[in-house]
Each structure stands twice: as C-alpha cells, then as structure tokens.
Amino acid sequence: MLRVCLKGANAAARKCLCERAGHPLQHCRRYTSAGDSGSVAGKIVAASLLTVGGGLGGTILYAKWDPKFRANVEKNVPYSDQLFGMTLGPPPPPVVPLPKKPAKVEPLQISTLSEASKESKQPKVKEKVKAKEKEAPVEPAPVAEETPAPPPQSLEAEECKECAHESAPALQERPVEEVTARLAEQDKAEQDTLASLTAGLDDTLGSSAKLTLQAIGAQEAALAAIATHTQKLKEAMDSESPPDRKSSQWRVLEEALSERNRAVDNAAEALLKAKGELEKLKGVINSAKESKIDTARPQILAAEENLHSMIVDLDKVATKVQTAQSEAKIVSQYSDLVNEAKAQFQKELESIAPEIQANWRGLTGKLSMDDLNSLIAHAHRRIDQLNRELAEQRVREQIHVEKALEQQKLEDQKALEQALATALEHNREEMRLEQERKVQEVRDVMEAEMRTQLRRQAAAHTDHLRDVLKVQEQELREEAQQVLGSKLLEQETHFRKLSQEQLDAFTLDMNAAHARLKGIEEAIDSHVVAEEEARKAHQLWLSVEALNYSLNTAGADAPTEPLEDAVRTIKEKCAENEFAQALTLALPEESLTRGVFSEASLRARFYGIRQLARRVALIDETRNSLYQYFLSYLQSVLLFEREQEAPPAKLAPEDLDTFKLLAYATYSIEHGDLELAAKFVNQLRGESRRVAQDWLKEARLTLETKQVVSLLSAYANAVGLGTTQAP
C-alpha cells in the first residue's frame, strides 16, 4: 500500500515536472545571423579617412603658408592651435613694418664718408702744422664724441633686434604631407635664403648700428671736446690771471687741445668705420633685394629704413661737429691772433726790457722805476700804435667785413647748397623710403587680398570636394545598405525556415512524447488504482483472515478471544469498504466482547444438552413437579432410540417430539451442520428448551459470527480475485 502511494506520488510529481519543463525548451533557442558587409564597409571607411586626411593636410599646409589663415583657424577651431603647434611650430609673431631698404643712399653715403674723412683730415692736418709751429703742445684733437646715445639709434637697434626676432621663427619649418612636399621644399629653400639674408642683414645692421653709435658717440665727444677747448681758450684769452695761473691755464688748454684732437680723430675714425659698415649694409640689402623673396621685403625695408636713419643721424652729428670745428677754428684763429699779439707784445717788451722774462708770475714787486717808466712809455707807444692800427683797421674794417661777408656768403652759399643737397638727398631718400613703404603696404594689401581670394578659392574647392565626397559617400552608402538589406533578408528567410522546421520537428516529438506520457500516466494511474484496490482487498483479506484465525483460537471449552480487535482492525483498515463495515456492524456484541465458542465445543456441549434435554423431556410449564422430573428421567432411561436420525426435508408435527428433535439435531451436528441442529434445538419446548437455551444462544452467536465472517471472507476473496490481474 505504501509502495502504491509512493508510486502514485512519483507519478504525479513526474507529470507536473514534465509539464513545466516542456515549455521553456521551446523558447531558449537563439540564432544569430551575421551579415557579411565587410568589404563595402572597408571601402566606405577608406574613402572617409582619405577625405578627412586630405582636408586636414590641406588646412595645415595653407596655414603654414599664410599665418593670417592660421591665426583665423586657431581662433575659430578649438585645439587647432595645438595641432598647428605640433606640425608647423609656434606661430610667427605679428609682422611689424620694418624700414625699407635704402637703395639710393650710396652716393650720399660715399659723399658724406668722403666729406667726413676730408673734414676730419683737414683740421687734423692744419692743426698738426700749427702744432709744429707752436711750442705748446696744443694739438687739435678733432674729438667729437657724443656720449649719450641718440634716441633714434636705440630705436633702430630695437627695430633691428625685432627684425632679428621676426626672421628667427620663420626658420622652423617641417613638411606635412607628400602632396605638399614640393611646396614645403620651396618654402624651405625660400626660408633658408631668407634666413641667410636676414642673418646677413641683421649682422650688418647690428655692426653698422654699433659702429654708427660709436661714431656718433665719438662725434659728440669730439663736439664736447671742441667746445671745452674753445671755452678754455676763450677763458685763457680773456682772463687776466697771474702768470702761474696762466701757465696752468695754458697747460690745461694744451690738454684740452690734445684731447680735442684726439676726440676729433676718434670721431673721424669712427665715422669712417660707420660709413664703411653702412656701405656693407647697403651691399647686403641690395643682394637681399636681388634675391626677390617677398617675405624678406619687410625686413629689407626695415633695414633700409634703419640704414637711412643711421646715415641721417651720422650726417647730423657730422654737421654738428663741423660747425663746432668751424667755431673752434674761429676761436683758434682768434686765439692764434691773440697769441700772436701776445708774442709780439712780449717780443716788444723783451726788446724794451730784456731782463723782464716772459714769466708773468714773478712780475709783481720786482720792477724798478726805470723799468716801469720804460714800460709805461712802451705802453704809450703801443697804445698809439694800436690806436693807429685801430683807425686803419676801422677803415679796412668795412672792406674786410664786406669781404668777409662775401666770403661768408659764399661759404654760406656753399654750406647752404651742401645742406640743401644733403637735405634734398635726405628728402629724396625719405620719399623713396616712403614710396617703398607705400609700395610695400600696397603689396601687402594686395598680398592679403590675393590670399583672401586664394583662401576663398581653396574654401570653394574644399566645399566642392566636400559636396562631391558627400554625394559619393551617400551613393556608396545606399549601395552598401541595399546589399546589406538583401543579404540580411536572405539570411533571415533561411533562418526562419530552419527554425520553423526545427520547431515542427520538435513539436512532433513533443506531441508524441506527450501522448506516450499520457498513456504511461494513465496506465500507471490505473495500475495505482488497481494496486490500491488490491492493497485494500489484501488488507481486507488479511483482516478477515485475522478474524478467521481469531475464530480458531477457541479452546475446548473456552470461547475465542474477543473478536473486537480483529473487527476493529477491519473497521480501521477497510474504512472505505462499506460492505465490510456493514458486515462488521452485523456482528453480534457478544462475539465482539466475549468471543464465540467453536463448533467443536458446541458439539461437545450439545451432547450434554441432549442428555439433559432427554431427561427433562416431560417437563414443561404444566407438568413440572418433582415427580414429573422423576418420570421424565425414567422415560429418558427407558426410551431407546437411535441417537442420530436423519432429519426429513420437511418437518411434520409429530417430528416435534423432543427425542426426535434431539436425534435430528445430533445427526446434524454429527454431520457438521450446526445450523440445522440449532434449528432443531430451537423447536424444543418446555424445560428442554430452557435447558438448551444457553447452548442455543451460543450456537446462534457462533452461527451468526461464522456467517458474517464467511461473508466477509467470501467478499474479501471476491475482491481479491477481482483485483488480481490475470498474468
């Protein structure tokens, strides 16, 4: 029974599991269809890469060529400045308009140079001659040194430095792509020459500037020296100081003169050097101009302007030196005259008073009266002479003045002409520079415009390229898309077909399996049911057997054990068997509580009953005295009959005799038919009945129990037979 239950549970569980596990298998299948569009995608990728690369390369190259474009792009596109910095180098600084190249300064330069050399040489020679004459070493030192550097020179130097800076960053170059390699090479060559040019220019400019500065310095120093010298001279002339001081003054004057000479010499040298350098610069500028590199133009212009300004300053300073020198000349002439007069006077004095030495210092307190008188007379005479000379001079004055005026006029004219020429030259030069500057500006503007146009063209070109590429890209993409779509469709239909086939096959299998499963389940269920029934029948049979067995436990005279337990077992085990239940209920109480006697014991007991019943056969309710008892006893003793007699089929009234009945009963009992015997015994009347009452009851009980039990066992057997399946 337990096994049946377990099997049933397993079957149920299996059924449930199968039901649940069946469904997910249908869903967890995944198919991936990989569309192969590698080649088309590769083409598209390559085309787009090419486009982007070309655009980038073109932009970079153009930026390298045109800094303005580069600046624009850097301003508008973020992080492009980094890209440009990586590929092209740092951007060039904003262009400062440099001075133009001085081309027509040559004649001016040379003239000034020659003039300067001439002029520097002139006073040198004159003064050298004078020095030879004089004893006092009053050497004219054409010194013209200007200690403070003029502002324009510093500005020029700064500008030179600037142009040096400008040329430097333009040197950093690198080619970007193959397509722009040639351009890059050209650029490079250009840049190289430009670099060399600018380097040369810078060098020469630097050196010329330095030398010019030096020259100017020297000139100014010379100027200062000349001024001091003249000043000292004037002082010496004018002042009436004691002789010792005079000698010191003269010494100082000599020093000043020597210094002046030296300064003037220095100035002349420096001027020469500067002029030479400027000529070199001019040569360099010319060569740079001949190289015809446009980018160098502003630098050339700047160099030219620098040169021009240097020349102008040099000229200015030279003229200053010249005026100073002329002044000095005048003063020196004057001083010479004064010296001459003094010498004359001294000579006269010596002639008059030879003992008096030229040493004025020891003059005080050493003169006698005669000397004084002679001196005074001499002085008077001298005064007269001087007055006469003065009168003469006054007369000649006019002529001299006129002459001088004329001379001066001539000189002035000459100087004016020269100054005019210089100024004209300067102006011309300035005009030319201005023109050059304007030309440069216009050129720049034109350049810019051309660049804009070019840029526009390039932009237009790029736009056109972009459009064309876009169209191409679109077409290619469409094509690729189409191919991809068709391939995908194909793959999808194929996949669908396969999946459908698989699904069908699977469904078929599943259905077959399901049907089989159902069959199996039903079979198992029926088996289970049958087993259940069999188990129950078995149980029933067992319990009935137990009952039967308990019936057999009857001792010789003792009743069976109480059938209660067995009956309870039946009741419990076969609770759902109504028939059995009913039957168990039909069992008499006595059998349950006390048990029943066995047939054998009843049989045995019957004989006693029979005996007794025979003995009290005559006693009934009417005759029941003691005498009757005796009589009946006597009767029983004396009546001889067969102990057993076969009972007839039908009982006749004369068969209701005690002895007969007992005989039938005995016969029945002897033949195992307790029921019949009980029936016969039941027909006894009177005391015999009373005597047999208990036995009858017992017999009835036994018979009932036996009947019920036999029924139960028959039923159990029947059920068992029914449940057992024929092999």
Q: Which residues bind to another protein, rule: CB under 8 A?
A: 605, 608-609, 612, 616, 619-621, 624-626, 629, 687, 690-695
Q: How far, in Å, CA of 218 to CA of 271, rounded?
A: 8
Q: Distance of alpha carbon 502 from its chain centroid, rounded?
A: 49
Nearer to another protein, 592 or 616 (CB): 616
Q: Which residues pair with 525 in a beta bridge?
A: none
- Minimum Å gap between C-beta 11 and another protein is 60
CB 239 within 8 Å of CB 249: yes
Residue 443's nearest CA partner among 574, 662, 297 is: 297
Residue 138's nearest CA partner among 319, 321, 338 is: 338
Reduced to 3 states (helix: H, G, I; strand: E, B; else coil), residue 87 is: helix
Give every CB contact of residue 544 below 8 A, 6+ residues apart in sequence: 570, 709, 712, 713, 715, 716
Helices (H), 239-296: 243-291
Nearer to another protein, 28 or 626 (CB): 626
Nearer to another protein, 104 or 603 (CB): 603
Nearer to another protein, 105 or 669 (CB): 669
CB 231 within 8 Å of CB 111: no
Nearer to another protein, 620 or 675 (CB): 620
- Minimum Å gap between C-beta 683 and another protein is 16
Nearer to another protein, 626 or 649 (CB): 626
- Minimum Å gap between C-beta 718 and another protein is 38
For 13, counting Cβ atoms within 10 Å of its Cβ (0-12 exposed, 13-18 middle, 19+ buried), the class is exposed
Reduced to 3 states (helix: H, G, I; strand: E, B; else coil), residue 15 is: helix
Q: How far, in Å, CA of 714 to CA of 708, rounded?
A: 10
Nearer to another protein, 144 or 703 (CB): 703
Give every CB contact of residue 399 below 8 A, 6+ residues apart in sequence: none
Nearer to another protein, 256 or 691 (CB): 691
Nearer to another protein, 574 or 692 (CB): 692
- Minimum Å gap between C-beta 684 and another protein is 12
- Minimum Å gap between C-beta 611 and another protein is 9
Nearer to another protein, 156 or 698 (CB): 698
Q: Give the per-residue SS3 of 283-352.
A: HHHHHHHHHCCHHHHHHHHHHHHHHHHHHHHHHHHHHHHHHHHHHHHHHHHHHHHHHHHHHHHHHHHHHH
Reduced to 3 states (helix: H, G, I; strand: E, B; else coil), residue 671 is: coil
Reduced to 3 states (helix: H, G, I; strand: E, B; else coil), residue 483 is: helix
- What single-letter amino acid sits at 584? T
- Minimum Å gap between C-beta 690 and another protein is 6
Nearer to another protein, 320 or 610 (CB): 610
- Minimum Å gap between C-beta 556 and another protein is 15
Nearer to another protein, 497 or 697 (CB): 697
- Minimum Å gap between C-beta 615 and another protein is 8
| 308-to-219, 404, 428, 443, 606 alpha-carbon distances in Å | 18, 36, 11, 22, 178
- Minimum Å gap between C-beta 675 and another protein is 20
Q: How far, in Å, CA of 94 to CA of 88, rounded?
A: 16
Q: Which residues pair with 145 in a beta bridge?
A: 220
Nearer to another protein, 104 or 690 (CB): 690
Four-residue CA torsion sign, 98, 101, 107, 111: positive
Nearer to another protein, 573 or 610 (CB): 610
Q: How far, in Å, CA of 329 to CA of 264, rounded?
A: 13
Nearer to another protein, 510 or 612 (CB): 612
- Minimum Å gap between C-beta 636 and another protein is 13
- Minimum Å gap between C-beta 612 and another protein is 5
DSSP at 356: S
Give the dihedral of Cα atoms 638, 641, 647, 650; nearest 10 deg.
-60
Q: Distance of alpha carbon 360 from its chain centroid, rounded?
A: 100
- Minimum Å gap between C-beta 610 and another protein is 10
CB 264 within 8 Å of CB 120: yes
Nearer to another protein, 205 or 692 (CB): 692
Q: Which residues pair with 220 in a beta bridge?
A: 145
Tokens of 707: 């009947």
- Minimum Å gap between C-beta 630 and another protein is 11
- Minimum Å gap between C-beta 597 and another protein is 11
Tokens of 102: 């001085």
Residue 306's nearest CA partner among 106, 146, 96, 152 is: 152
- Minimum Å gap between C-beta 7 and another protein is 55
| 181-to-61, 178, 187, 649 alpha-carbon distances in Å | 10, 5, 10, 147
- Minimum Å gap between C-beta 669 and another protein is 15
